[in-house]
Amino acid sequence: MPHQSPFLLDVDHLSVRFGGLVALADVSLGVQSGETVALLGPNGAGKTTLFNVLTGMLRPTTGQVRFNGQDISKYRVDQISRLGISRTFQLIRVFPGLSVEDNVRVGGLFGRTRAAPPLDARETQHILTRTGLRRLAHQPAGQLAIGDRKRLEIARALATRPRLLLLDEIMAGLAPPDARALIELVRAIHQEGVMILLVEHIMTAVFALADRLIVLHHGEKIAEGAPTEVVRNPVVVEAYLGEAPSL
C-alpha cells in the first residue's frame, strides 16, 4: 500500500551522520501545498544539512524524503530539480562574468529534458520582471549590489520551475528597505502557488512569511507549530532566541 501523507514534502525519521558526528537525528517534518514553513535554529543545528538532503547533495544515513508521495532519498540533484524542488544558497553562487539574463538562462537549463525544455525568451523575461531584475538584464552579475544578487539567486531558482522553493538565509546582510522588498517578492512567489521552506534568522521576515515554524537544535527537532506559539516555547527561547521576541 502506498504511503499516505497530507504533506507534499514529507521527511520521515531522517538522520545524517558524518562518522561520529550526528548532523540530523531522527527528524520528521512536512510541508503542505500552499504553505510557507520557516526552519529555525542556531548555527550548527542541521538546517543547511537538511536542505542538502532535500536537494540531493547529501544522502541520508537513515530515513526517507518523499515528494508528492515519491521516495526521492537516493535521487540525484538534477532528478530532484526536475521533480520541482529548487533552492538558493546562503553564500551567493551567481556566475559573476555572465549577464543577469544569462545567469537565469543557465538556471533554466538545469535538469531539463526534451519533455521539459529550457526556458524560452518569453519565460526568461517574465522571471526577470517578477524578480525586479529586467532593468539589469545585460549587466554582469558580478557588478550587482547585494540585494540584486539575492534577487538573482531567487530568479535562477525560479528558472527551474519549482513547486517547492528552499530559501537559505536569503535576507542575511540586507538593509531594512531591501529586506522588506525581498519579503514582498517571496510573498508574491508563494501567492503564485510555490511552496516555501525557508531558513531565516531575521525574525521580522519569519513572522511576515511563515504559516508554521520548525525549530532544530543539535540536529533534533525541538518544536513545531504556529509562530506565536513556538517563539514563546521555553525550550526554544533557551536554545535559540535568548528571549521571546516582541510580536
Instruction: List, for residues 181-204, the tens digit of each pLDDT value.
Output: 999 999 999 999 999 999 998 989
Mean of pLDDT values over 85-110: 89
129 Cβ neighbours under 8 A, 6+ residues apart: none
List Cα–Cα distances, 157 to 22, 64, 126, in angstroms. Answer: 29, 24, 14
Residue type, 10: D
Contact between 16 and 49 (Cβ < 8 Å)? yes
- pLDDT in the model for residue 3: 52
Judged by DSSP in three states, 216 sits in strand
Q: Which residue has the cell 543557465?
A: 106
SS3 76: coil
The Cα-based distances of 43 to 23, 174, 199, 216 in angstroms read 12, 19, 11, 10
Average pLDDT score over residue span 29-46: 92
Confidence band of 6 (pLDDT split at 50, 70, 90)? confident
Cα separation of 142 and 75, whole Å?
32
The beta strand positions in 19-143, using DSSP E, are 21-31, 36-40, 62-67, 70-71, 85-87
Q: How far is 209 from 203, CA to CA, in rounded Å?
A: 10
Quote the percentage of the chain above a pLDDT of 90: 72
Please give the backbone phi and psi of residue 114, each rounded to the nearest 5 degrees, phi first. Answer: -65, -30
Residue 195: how many other CB atoms lie within 10 Å: 23
The C-alpha cell that represents 91 in the structure block = 553564500
Residue 32 has pLDDT above 80, yes or no: yes
Of the given ranges (12-21, 70-79, 85-94), which has the lowest mean pLDDT? 85-94
Q: Which residue reads 510573498 in cell numbers?
A: 187
- Label residue 93 by pLDDT band (50, 70, 90): confident
Mean pLDDT of the chain: 90
Average pLDDT over residues 219-224: 94
| pTM given for the model | 0.90
Q: Are 223 and 230 in contact (CB under 8 A)?
A: yes
Which of the four pLDDT bands, split at 50, 70 and 90, describes residue 43? confident
The Cβ of residue 53 has, within 10 Å, a number of other Cβ atoms equal to 25
The rounded distance, in Å, linking the Cα atoms of 11 and 161 is 22
Task: Beginning with the edge strand found earlier in the chain, give each strand of the sheet holding 21-31 in spatial order.
Answer: 21-31, 9-18, 62-67, 70-71
- Cα–Cα dist 168/196, whole Å: 11
pLDDT of residue 1: 42
Q: What's the confidence (pLDDT) of residue 233?
A: 87
